[in-house]
Amino acid sequence: MSTSEILHSPITELSRKLRKKECTSVELTTAFLNHTKKSNPSLQSFLTIAEESALEQAKKADELLEKNATTHDLCGIPIAIKDIICTKGIKTTAASRILENFVPPFDATVVSHLKQVGSVILGKTNCDEFAMGSSNENSAFANCTNPWNTEYVPGGSSGGSACAVSSRQTPGSLGTDTGGSIRQPASLCGIVGIKPTYGRVSRFGSMAFASSLDQIGPFANTVLDAALILDVISQSCTKDSTYAQKPFIFDQQQICTSIKGKKIGVPWKFVETYANQEVLKNFKDQIDFFTKQGATIETIELPHQHFASACYYIIAPAEASSNLARYDGIRYTLQEGRTESLDQMYVQSRSLGFGEEVKRRILLGTFVLSAGYYDAYYNKAVHIRELIRKDYQDALKKVDAIATPTTPTPAFKLGAKTKNPLEMYHADVFTVGVPLAGNPGLNIPTGFSQNNLPFGLQLVGRPFEEDVLFQLGYAHELEHKWYEKVPTV
Ligand code: GLN
C-alpha cells in the first residue's frame, strides 16, 4: 500500500489489507506517525507522540497477525487517546499545568482493552483542560486547530482527537463526552463520533470531570470504524461501579440493514429556535434524505430542552468542584512548596496549576453546592435533569431516534468566544441534554458550509441502542460518502 492509500483508508479496509498481508502494522504505524510529526506543528492535535512504544506494539501486532490467530479487526490498527485518559508509562496531563509531568502507573480500562486486541497507541491528543470547554482553547499547552481551516477551532473538549482523525493523523481515536465533547468536535471537524449510553463504557482511568455525565467514546471516519472501536472499549470492567456490564457487540449485518420503516423524531421548535440559517437548511436536507430512504419523520416535543444548558452548567461544575479537589499539590501534581503553611501550599499549587476556566468551574460548583444555595441551584437542577430525561424517554417511546443539528453553527474562529464564557456555553445547546438524560448520541458528517467548514447531524437513541444510530448513520454514509473528502494539511 502507498502511504497515501494507508492514510486515506478506513479501519475496515486497513484491517483487510493487514490480513491479506498487503501491509504490516509497522508500515501503517510508521505512515501515520510520519504524517502526524509533519502536520502537528500547525494542527497541535497531539500533546505526546508515543513513537517508540507505538512501533513496539505494532511489531507485536504483526507477530500476532503472522501467527494467523483469530484477531480482532482492530489488531495492528493505530488509535490516538485523549490526554485525559490514563496510559501506563505515557504522560497524561488532562491538558493542565497541574498534571504537566504526570505519568500514570496504569492503563484506563479502555486502553487496556485496546492493547489486548493488539491496537497500537499512537499518542495522546490535545483537549480543553480537564475537558472543560467547547473549542480546545482551554488547553494549557497549545491551541489545536481545525484541519479544514486552521484559523478556526476544532471544537472541544476532545478537539485533538477529532482533528487527528479528520486530518488522517490516525484512523481512529478516543475522546470523552460530558456535555458534547465527542459529538461537537466530530461535527466541527466533519467526522463520526459517538457518545455511548451512560454505563456502556468503563470510565476507570478517565480523569473525572462530572462523574454522572462523563462517558468515553470513539472518533472515526466511518460509522463501521466507530462501531468497531466501541465493540472493544465497551468490554468488561470490574473497577467502575457505573459500568453497566452490557458490552456493545459489533454486528455489521445489522448496521448495514435498510432503514425503511424507522421512525425519526424531530423537535422542530427547538431546532428552529437555535440553529442558524445555513445549519437549518443543511439539517432539512438530511431529513429529506431519510424520508427518501423510507424512514418516517415525526414532529416531537422536548419541552424542557431549553433548560438543558442552565441545568448542565450547574450540575457539571458542581461535580467538577468535588472531583478536582484531589489535585492538591501533594500526590501526583504540580507542587508549590515554598509556602509557610499547608493551606498556603494548597492555594498556591492550585492557583498556579489550574487555568482560568477550570477555576471558574470550581468556583461555580462550590457556590451552587454551598449551604443556603444548594436548594436554589443544585437541587433545582437535579429536578430539571429528571424532566429532561423524561422528555427523551417519552419521545423515544414513539420514535426510534431523535435528529437535531449537532451544533447551532459551523466552527467559529479561534478567539471568537473566549472573552464571553456564556456565549461559549450556549454553543452547546444541542448536545448538553443528551448526557443529562444518559442516552447515546451519534454525530455524522453532512456536508460543508459556504466557508468550506463541516456540518454535522446528531442522532439520539434509546439507552443501549447505539446499533440503531449506527444503522441510520450507515445508510446516510453509504449515499453521501463524506469521508472521501479529506482536508489538505
Ligand atoms: N462544552 C461542555 C463543557 O465545557 C462539554 C464538555 C465535555 O463534554 N467534556 O462543559
CATH number, position 146: 3.90.1300.10
Cα-to-centroid distance, 328 and ligand 1 (Å) = 23
Residue 75 resides in a domain: yes
The C-alpha atoms of residue 58 and residue 56 are separated, in whole angstroms, by 5
Q: How confident is the model at residue 173, as a pLDDT? A: 99
Residue 153 placed within a domain: yes
Looking at residue 332, what is its pLDDT? 72
Query: How far apart, in whole angstroms, are the C-alpha atoms of residue 137 and residue 140?
Result: 8
DSSP string, 3-24: HHHHHHS-HHHHHHHHHTTSS-
User: For residue 418, is it within any domain?
Assistant: no
Tell me if 253 is assigned to some domain.
Answer: yes
Cβ–ligand 1 contact at 131 (below 6 Å): yes
CA-atom Rg of the chain in angstroms: 21
Kindly give the distance from the C-alpha atom of residue 426 to the centroid of ligand 1, in angstroms, as a whole number. 11
What spatial distance separates the first Cα and last Cα of the chain, rounded to whole Å? Answer: 21
Q: Which of 84, 127, 157 to mutate to test the pocket of ligand 1 (most atoms within 8 A of CB)?
A: 157
Task: Please state the atom number of ligand 1 nearest to the C-alpha of residue 210.
Answer: 9
Does residue 311 lie in a domain region? no
Task: Provide the domain limits for residue 45.
Answer: 3-257+468-484
Assess contact for 408 and 466: CB atoms under 8 A: no
pLDDT at 475: 98
Q: Is residue 426 part of a domain?
A: no
Single-letter amino acid, residue 255: I
Domain assignment present for 273:
no
Ligand 1 neighbourhood includes 136 CB (under 6 angstroms): no
Dist. CA 458–CA 343, nearest whole Å: 46
Give pTM, 2 decimals: 0.98
Q: Cα(139) to centroid of ligand 1, in Å?
A: 13
Q: Candidates 83, 96, 127, 134: which one to mutate for ligand 1, based on the most atoms within 8 Å of Cβ?
A: 134
Q: Residue 198: which residues within 8 A CB-CB, separation 6 or more?
A: 212, 213, 215, 242, 435, 438, 463
| 362: in domain | no
CA distance 439 to 464: 8
Which residue's C-alpha cell is 471558574? Answer: 360
* Beta carbon of 132 within 6 Å of any ligand 1 atom: yes
Q: pLDDT at position 156, please? A: 97
141 SS3 class: coil
The C-alpha cell 493542565 sits at 96
How many structural domains compose the chain?
A: 1
How far, in whole angstroms, is CA 460 from its chain's centroid? 15
Residue numbers in the chain where pLDDT is lower than 70: 337
Distances in whole angstroms, Cα of residue 68 to Cα of each of 18, 21, 50, 63, 307: 11, 11, 27, 9, 54
Q: What is the structure's pLDDT at 330?
A: 85
Cell matching residue 32: 501515520
> Could you tell me if the CB of 429 is within 6 A of ligand 1?
no
Q: What are the tens digits of pLDDT across the range 118-137? A: 999 999 999 999 999 999 99
